[in-house]
Amino acid sequence: MAAARPAAQPRRVAARSRATRADAVATLREAAEPRSAEAGAAPPRRKRLAHEAAILQAAERVFAGAGFGGATMAEIAKAAGLPKPNLHYYFGSKKALYRAVLERTLREWLEPADCIVATAEPREALERYIREKMRLSFARPYASRVWANELLHGAPELRTTLVRTLRPLMRRKVAVIDQWMAEGRMAPVDSSHLFFTIWAATQTYADFEVQICAVLGCASLDRAAQARATQHVVSLILRGCGLA
Amino acid sequence: MAAARPAAQPRRVAARSRATRADAVATLREAAEPRSAEAGAAPPRRKRLAHEAAILQAAERVFAGAGFGGATMAEIAKAAGLPKPNLHYYFGSKKALYRAVLERTLREWLEPADCIVATAEPREALERYIREKMRLSFARPYASRVWANELLHGAPELRTTLVRTLRPLMRRKVAVIDQWMAEGRMAPVDSSHLFFTIWAATQTYADFEVQICAVLGCASLDRAAQARATQHVVSLILRGCGLA
DNA sequence: CCTACTTTTGACCATTTGGTCAATTATGCG
DNA sequence: CGCATAATTGACCAAATGGTCAAAAGTAGG
């Protein structure tokens, strides 16, 4: 199926055979930042990068709004301002595009944890982590929702990524927190579950924004409301960790 | 379209015209507990109730697993052990069935808040509330996920329900918490956001179970793990509220 | 048994949708 | 310019899916 094929459109063919593989990481590198570091290839055309970014952004919004099953390639194409076959030319399939969106999100999501290291001051590091997560929730709600949607439905596309990428990282971070507690620098809490609580408390502002706005009686959270929410989460959790 | 129609299957026709209306509450009463309190109608047949319950349960599981867009009526029918036209006979349309699932969940979800009343002891009431939410998350993960999925996608089906049902209830509960704080019985926190944090921290165990299991390295949370999670959330939040 | 009804079910659409393809148009380069 | 390659796009298809229907099969009461 992938072999016998007219010699035209080599890039697209490559993308399709790639998408068939289960190797999520490879798909990530190639689909999200295609050929940026490839052997003797010409430097990526500006237009290509721009189009891919536009598609990715449109896909993120549409997937966030309707889930994988509810989103349609036609809608994504319209949102990106490109004809539908173009999406397939760049990303191969709906699933590959979806995965590209997810992988990009994962990268962004893991970054804030960089500040959690053994040498840091617990209170300062945790506060910074929480604030960064809150900032991300408000700045990129669509990305958060696509991620949440994927988890909600059992993570069919990135179960292996969770185990191979997220779990090792979390083991390290959990060890840092445990060390802080062993040194008596914070109250004893379950460090793994502390992360779950922080993730939940922060991302709820992106994922369940409608519910929050409905309860608060506002159309959306303005700067002041965002600051209030951030302050609430930070102080509640820090106090919960005996870091007030 | 709904008018000219052979006189047969009156119930089904009624269900369809009902589903067309935007009145979610009416749909709730009729679809979830059909004709239980209707005028001179015969007592509901046992079989009917059993079938409706089976469909509702199957729908909950399938909607939770694939979202509204990704779920198919055929799959729900198979899960319920009934032929597909039967679903339409009982619930009229996919959307009406989806809404019936949501409305049932909302009712269950609001109940635990009953224990939050001004006369109660803050610490005891909050702990009981959190424990009940955790219990629900573990006992009915599918319901939680359908609800989360609906919110995630902007609550197209129950935006009005949120404003008309959830918001009034929360105003009352928030007032209770504020009173407790005014009486100096707990640390000052933003009471609205306290609820958002509790919801997020508890329901994350249902909604994002895969992620939690992936990080913890287990296939699912057994009784002991559930108890540990519950203890963590309870103590973290109570301490955060100055109720330790 | 008969009558009026509810319920069940296999077969059947119309529409939507992911994906394909061949033809056409840019684009870079020698 | 002329050639090869990359990118674009309108038209199209096979499969899936929500929903429909009419006929058959219960079922309760007289």
Residue showing tokens 């032929």: B83
pLDDT digits (tens, 9 = 90+) for B15-47: 333 333 223 333 333 333 333 333 333 455 677
Shortest distance between the Cα of A36 and any Cα of chain B, in A, equals: 31
The C1' atom of D7 and the CA atom of A62 lie apart, in whole Å, by 24
- A118 in the same domain as A233: yes
Range of the domain at A200: 105-240
Among the listed residues A125, A240, A234, the one whose alpha carbon sits nearest the alpha carbon of residue A173: A125
pLDDT digits (tens, 9 = 90+) for A175-188: 999 999 999 999 99
The C1' atom of D9 and the CA atom of A59 lie apart, in whole Å, by 20
- B100 in the same domain as B111: no
- A224 in the same domain as A210: yes
pLDDT band at B244, cuts 50/70/90?
Answer: confident
Residue among A64, A149, A189 minimizing CB distance to B236: A189
* Residue B232: both structure tokens together: 């963590």
Burial of A214 (C-beta count, 10 Å sphere; 0-12/13-18/19+): buried
Interface mutation vs chain A, best among B134, B145, B152, B157, most A CBs within 10 Å: B152
- A132 in the same domain as A46: no
| CA–CA distance, B98 with B73 (Å, rounded to integer) | 11
| CA–CA distance, B199 with B191 (Å, rounded to integer) | 13
Interface of A with B in 201-240 (CB under 8 A): 201, 203-205, 207-208, 210-212, 214-217, 228-229, 232-233, 235-237, 239-240
Residue B58 has pLDDT above 50, yes or no: yes
Interface mutation vs chain A, best among B172, B215, B233, most A CBs within 10 Å: B215
Position B2 in a domain: no
Interface of A with B in 11-50 (CB under 8 A): none
- A224 in the same domain as A145: yes
Mean pLDDT of all residues in B195-201: 98
* pLDDT value at residue B49: 84
pLDDT digits (tens, 9 = 90+) for A74-103: 999 999 999 999 999 999 999 999 999 999
pLDDT band at B143, cuts 50/70/90?
Answer: very high
- A194 in the same domain as A116: yes
Position A2 in a domain: no
Number of domains chain B is built from: 2
Question: What is the gyration radius of the CA atoms in chain A, in angstroms?
Answer: 21
- B121 in the same domain as B227: yes
Position A1 in a domain: no
pLDDT digits (tens, 9 = 90+) for A132-182: 999 999 999 999 999 999 999 999 999 999 999 999 999 999 999 999 999
Residue showing tokens 């990530």: A28
* pLDDT value at residue B210: 98
Residue showing tokens 């089906």: B157
CB atoms A214 and B64 under 8 Å: no
Residue among B149, B189, B228 minimizing CB distance to A67: B149
Burial of B93 (C-beta count, 10 Å sphere; 0-12/13-18/19+): middle
Of B50, B83, B104, at which residue does a domain stop?
A: B104
Secondary structure of chain B as H, E, C letters: CCCCCCCCCHHHHHHHHHHHCCCHHHHHHHHHCCCCCCCCCCCCCHHHHHHHHHHHHHHHHHHHHHHHHHCCHHHHHHHHCCCHHHHHHHHCCHHHHHHHHHHHHHHHHHHHHHHCCCCCCHHHHHHHHHHHHHHHHHHCHHHHHHHHHHHHCCCCCCHHHHHHHHHHHHHHHHHHHHHHHHCCCCCCCCHHHHHHHHHHHHHHHHHCHHHHHHHHCCCCCCHHHHHHHHHHHHHHHHHHCCCC
CB atoms B70 and A65 under 8 Å: no
* pLDDT value at residue B219: 96
